[in-house]
Structure 1
Amino acid sequence: MVSTVQNTDVKQKDADRAVVVAVTSRSVFEPEPGDGVYGEGVAFKLLQALQKVNERLLEENPSESLLFDVVLITTDTEQQQHSNRIITSTRHYGLEISRFSFCAEEDFTESLVQNHVHLFLTTDQHEAQQASQSGVLCALLDPLTASCQSDQLRVMFCEDDVIKPDTSPLPGRQQANQTLSCQLGEMRGRFGLVDSPLSLVLVTSHGNRQSCGVAMRTLRSRGVTMDEAYCLAGAPRGPIVSLLQPHFLLSDGCSGMEE
């Protein structure tokens, strides 16, 4: 059973335009003894970066509707028993979370569907695989990069479903990837070349500079312009990820940072 509670402290986003991002409460908050607020988890800084993008978008245009809409999902039984503590912690830190979804572990994919989630973020490999198998785009968060202090949201695009030429019909996850990339590209286009709260980086793992150029042109044809691009020509992407420290990586289905 899934129970969803709206956060009355936050203005609700336009359901037809918002980019819905779901993240697990275990990723956002660290358990703390006592009855006080929870500590900051792996995804805490990431949520602040998403929020910064929203704030800057609204500064540019107060009627902007293309915004991040964050849903906090709680499957942990102990945390569900202290749901007020989660809501209080959110209020304490000033996090812009629109909805709280409480559900059993076996029902969390139903929660993703009910909330029309575009991207699911988690530190749990099993949850990531379940979401991916349900057709929901997901990213496995790396503790060292997702938690980096930054006012700029950094998203790394990898090849495969994100940049391959369009085919018809598109598999669900490939379509979801391309839709999200276009939404991020549209957001990025709201800002200038410098001082943007959102940075998009392309990494091609295989091929030469020419194939990287093809990938950039493919993305540009969809309205997605990269801030940076790197051609690895078969080299592992771990070192470049460690250097650039993206908050999350977009690839086919579900991705981690370690590949």
Structure 2
Amino acid sequence: MESTRDNRLVVAISSRALFDLDESNGIFETQGLRKYTAYQIEHENETLCPGVAFPLIKRLLALRLPHTDESAVEIILVSKNDPNTGLRVFNSIEHYNLNITRAAFTNGRSPYHYLGALGADLFLSANSEDVRLALDHGYASAAIYTGLAFVDDNTDEIRIAFDGDAVIFSDEAERVYQEKGLEEFKRHETENCEIPLPPGPFKPFLEALNKVQKAYEGLDHKPIRTALVTARNAPAHKRAVKTLRSWGVGIDEAFFLGGWDKAPILEGFRPHIFFDDQQTYCQNAARFVPTGHVPSGIKNMAL
């Protein structure tokens, strides 16, 4: 049996992030567990439609390491269903020929308990509370905005976009901005431009992604492309750039928007997932691209 302990990128994903389960989830929320269980068993041979994260997951599963042709990414299904009601999800996985062979069915328990054992570099879920718990325990996690269908493009790239503060970086600078205003934020970041920002919750995931990217160095085709899309602008951009440099982490594209709406840039970059901590940016972005809310940092403390 193949070992789980290798150098592959590992993404844990919930069934509602992978497939469109809004209808059955609505039954659970309005009619309770018994009706939900009966519904899932009754419909277990009906294939689920792709969810918001489906194009990303399909592309990640197809990614092969150069020279070895081994899988570069492992996807693990993490579901709060029990194995009985989760059978419909695995039937749908088989229908779409997704190479997902490992799963955790937790029967109502929050999946964060098992993310360490699974070796997950990233956890994607439609349940914001599960995401908060995972973040609180040190796992890069995002709550996927469901209910929208995105038509995948015909390129062979995997594009991932990140906000900076409270996502890749800590919310140290954001706290200065919220507590003391824009001018003090600019002064603080200019004075501290040579001091790297503390890491945010997605630094380990970005590092793991960079390791996969480095496997393609020297090749004409690089299948993964990343972007930093941040509300920072000059002169506060310097600290972000120098922080990434100090970590030895690369970003392919960077956009310093100074508070402008991020959606038009994201429409141009066309990420298969975008991560941001602020719900306003997420809500705008989610109309155009698959989006994950990262409920970390000072902006999410009162939510």
**Which has the larger displacement, 189-198 or 106-115?**
189-198
Distance 1:42-1:251 versus aligned 2 partners, 3 A rule: closer
Identity of paired residues, percent?
A: 26
What does residue 207 of structure 1 align with? 233
Which residue does the alignment assign to 2:93?
90
In the other structure, the counterpart of 2:107 is: 104
1:14 to partner: Cα distance: 5.0
Q: Which has the larger radius of gyration?
A: 2
Deviations along 1:199-236, whole A, 9 cap, x unmatched?
1001231231x443542343244343322111111223
Q: Superposition pairs for residues 20-169 of structure 1, below 5 Å?
A: 20-31=10-21, 33=43, 35-52=45-62, 54-55=63-64, 57=65, 60-62=66-68, 67-76=72-81, 80-143=83-146, 147-150=150-153, 151-160=156-165, 162-163=168-169, 166=196
**1:241 aligned partner:** 266
1:19 pairs with 2:25 = no
Task: Summarize the Cα distance change of 1:63–1:101 in structure 2 as closer, same or farther, 3 Å threshold.
Answer: same
Whether contact under 8 Å (2:121, 2:208) holds in the other structure is no
* 8 A Cα contact 1:157 1:201, kept in partner: yes
How many aligned residue pairs are there? Answer: 236
Instruction: Tell me, in whole angstroms, the C-alpha distance in 2 between the residues paired with 1:110 and 1:139.
Output: 16
Structure 2 regions of 5+ residues with no counterpart?
A: 22-39, 171-194, 285-303
Alignment CA distance shift 1:147-1:14 (3 Å)? farther
Contact 2:261 2:281 in 1 (8 A): no
Q: CA deviation at 1:102?
A: 0.3
Judge which range, 243-252 or 227-236, deviates more. Answer: 243-252
Determine which structure has the larger strand proportion and give its number: 1
What is the Cα deviation at residue 95 of structure 1? 1.1
Report the Cα distance in structure 2 between the residues aligned to 1:19 and 1:76, rounded to whole angstroms.
25
- Give 1:91 deviation, angstroms: 2.2
Match of 2:249 in 1: 224
**Contact 1:177/1:251 (CA < 8 Å) preserved in 2?**
no
Residues 130, 113 of structure 1: alpha-carbon distance in 2 compared, 3 angstrom cutoff: same
Counterpart amino acid of 2:14? T
Unmatched segments (≥5 aa) in structure 1: 1-7
Aligned partners of 1:139, 1:198: CA distance in 2, in Å?
20
Query: For residues 94 and 254 of structure 1, what CA distance do their matches in structure 2 show?
Result: 34
Which is worse superposed, 218-227 or 244-253?
244-253
Counterpart contact for 2:131–2:143, Cα < 8 Å: yes
